[in-house]
């Protein structure tokens, strides 16, 4: 079964064709990121207008790269939330129009559940369920128990800033970048191999028994360190990254132990973080869990995992019932 996936939840316009949920046939992504770099953040109206410009060319490009037409597609899948409402609407309306014109089923997909399915794409190793999935993105930090496809339980998530948001805000505070500075902060941290101030910043909620997170205090602690101490930027970046990764790794391993699963899945933009991948992989191995992490190009937003998630969670909805929903998070789904 071939599914055309469409993703327009924020500032990326993406389309992809995926076979049987696991094989990527083609993918295209356009981004309006450079416009948001100028304003130091996404202006939703600007992002939505770029979605309108890009959606038809991106879908056409995806079909062209696959050398396919509507006859080769069995269903259309689209991200319905969470995300910016103006951006989401463009994808949802495009998907509805295609499903109607091509007479194909339409499958709504939750963006965060989608991130988890990046682990199933062209993975040479079988992904065994049940699993604990950690979704770390710009807007979310969620721990989810995935008993089976379509059977998920929300275990916990951030009470304030998401992990990616904390990376981006701290990068701004350190004067590294005004917009999406997370990857750059991580690169700067690589300049400090051995952390000389380990423990200076708090590891919020690390020993709490729940699976919630809180990163906003960490950002304020970085501010105090920057104002009061004359530490090199790479040292502060190293300690910040260590603090976030310590918490993410500990809580993920704790959740996997508590729910007696054998598999851990990572997903979301922050799963591109090298330090997180390395530390989680070391801990998972030590504790006897099988860890899957998506290839780097599938960590940040794209439509490949949207089509993948649609295949494994196939719930066809009548056209009129498919609506964009900005607030729809993992908690609303399970
Ligand atoms: O999943 P994503 O592409 O968009 C959302 O759904 O939010 O995630 C984007 C987030 C941004 O906050 C970005 O700074 C962060 O992921 N990110 C990283 C890295 N690569 C992307 N954060 C830390 N280290 C990275 N290497
Ligand atoms: Zn995302």
Q: 141 CB less than 6 Å from ligand 1?
A: no
The confidence score (pLDDT) of residue 252 equals: 98
The confidence score (pLDDT) of residue 40 equals: 83
Residue 333 pLDDT greater than 90, yes or no? no
Residue 334 pLDDT greater than 80, yes or no? no
Q: How far apart are CA 134 and CA 115, in angstroms?
A: 10
Of 95, 90, 63, 93, give the one whose Cα is nearest residue 78.
95
Ligand 1 centre to CA of 235 (Å) is 21
By the 8 A CB rule, do 237 and 185 touch? Answer: yes
- The atom number, within ligand 1, closest to the CA of 140 reads 7
Ligand 1 centre to CA of 67 (Å) is 31
Stretch (H or E) spanning 228: helix 216-228
Name the percent of the chain lying above pLDDT 70. 100
Residue 207 phi/psi, 5-degree rounding, is: -100, 5
Q: Which two tokens stand for residue 192?
A: 């400090």
Dump pLDDT digits (tens) for 318-329: 999 999 999 988
- The atom number, within ligand 1, closest to the CA of 165 reads 12
How do strand 23-31 and strand 12-19 relate by DSSP bridges? Answer: antiparallel
Of all protein residues, the one whose alpha carbon is nearest to atom 8 of ligand 1 is 269
Of 275, 199, 204, give the one whose Cα is nearest residue 239.
199
How do strand 290-292 and strand 263-267 relate by DSSP bridges? Answer: parallel
- In three-state secondary structure terms, 155 is strand
Residue 256: band (very low, low, confident or very high) from pLDDT cuts 50, 70, 90: very high
**pLDDT (average), residues 109-128:** 97
Neighbouring C-beta atoms of residue 281, cutoff 10 Å: 16
Neighbouring C-beta atoms of residue 61, cutoff 10 Å: 17
Q: 167 CB less than 6 Å from ligand 1?
A: yes
- pTM check: above 0.85: yes
Q: 183 CB less than 6 Å from ligand 1?
A: yes
The confidence score (pLDDT) of residue 73 equals: 98
Q: How far apart are CA 163 and CA 157, in angstroms?
A: 10
Q: 270 CB less than 6 Å from ligand 1?
A: yes
Q: 170 CB less than 6 Å from ligand 1?
A: no
Q: Which two tokens stand for residue 213?
A: 């997170």
Dump pLDDT digits (tens) for 169-196: 999 999 999 888 999 999 999 999 999 9
**pLDDT (average), residues 142-150:** 96
Ligand 2 centre to CA of 7 (Å) is 10
Strand order in the sheet with 23-31: 23-31, 12-19, 2-7, 75-81, 106-110
Q: How far apart are CA 299 and CA 322, in angstroms?
A: 26
Of all protein residues, the one whose alpha carbon is nearest to atom 10 of ligand 1 is 138
- The atom number, within ligand 1, closest to the CA of 168 reads 14
The confidence score (pLDDT) of residue 132 equals: 98
Q: 294 CB less than 6 Å from ligand 1?
A: no
- The atom number, within ligand 1, closest to the CA of 300 reads 3
Dump pLDDT digits (tens) for 12-35: 999 999 999 999 999 999 998 888
**pLDDT (average), residues 208-236:** 95
Residue 39: band (very low, low, confident or very high) from pLDDT cuts 50, 70, 90: confident
Residue 42 pLDDT greater than 90, yes or no? no
């Amino acid at each position: 079964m071939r599914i055309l996936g469409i993703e327009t939840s924020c500032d990326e316009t993406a389309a992809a064709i995926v076979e049987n949920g696991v094989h990527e046939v083609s993918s295209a992504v356009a981004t309006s990121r450079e416009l948001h770099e100028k304003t130091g953040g996404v202006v939703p109206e600007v992002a939505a207008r770029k979605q309108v410009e890009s959606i038809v060319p991106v879908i056409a490009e995806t079909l062209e790269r696959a050398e396919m037409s509507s006859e080769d597609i069995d269903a259309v899948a689209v991200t319905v939330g969470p995300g910016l409402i103006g951006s989401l609407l463009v994808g949802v309306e495009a998907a509805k129009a295609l499903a109607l014109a091509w007479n194909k089923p339409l499958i709504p997909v939750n963006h965060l559940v989608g991130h988890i399915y990046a682990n199933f794409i062209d993975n040479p190793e079988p992904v065994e369920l049940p699993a604990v999935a950690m979704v770390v993105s710009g807007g979310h930090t969620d721990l989810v128990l995935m008993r089976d496809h379509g059977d998920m339980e929300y275990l916990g998530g951030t009470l304030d800033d998401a992990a990616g948001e904390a990376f981006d805000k701290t990068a701004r505070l350190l004067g590294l970048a005004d917009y999406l500075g997370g990857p750059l902060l991580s690169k700067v941290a690589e300049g400090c191999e051995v952390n000389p101030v380990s423990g200076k910043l708090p590891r919020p909620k690390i020993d709490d028994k729940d699976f919630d997170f809180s990163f906003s205090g960490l950002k304020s602690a970085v501010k105090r360190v920057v104002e009061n101490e004359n530490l090199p930027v790479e040292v502060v970046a190293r300690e910040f990254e260590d603090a976030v990764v310590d918490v993410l790794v500990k809580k993920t391993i704790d959740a996997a132990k508590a729910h007696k699963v054998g598999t851990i899945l990572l997903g979301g933009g922050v799963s591109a973080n090298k330090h997180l991948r390395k530390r989680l992989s070391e801990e998972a191995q030590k504790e006897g869990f099988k860890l899957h992490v998506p290839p780097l190009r599938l960590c940040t937003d794209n439509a490949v995992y949207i089509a993948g998630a649609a295949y494994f969670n196939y719930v066809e909805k009548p056209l009129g019932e498919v609506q964009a929903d900005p607030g729809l998070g993992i908690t609303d789904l399970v």
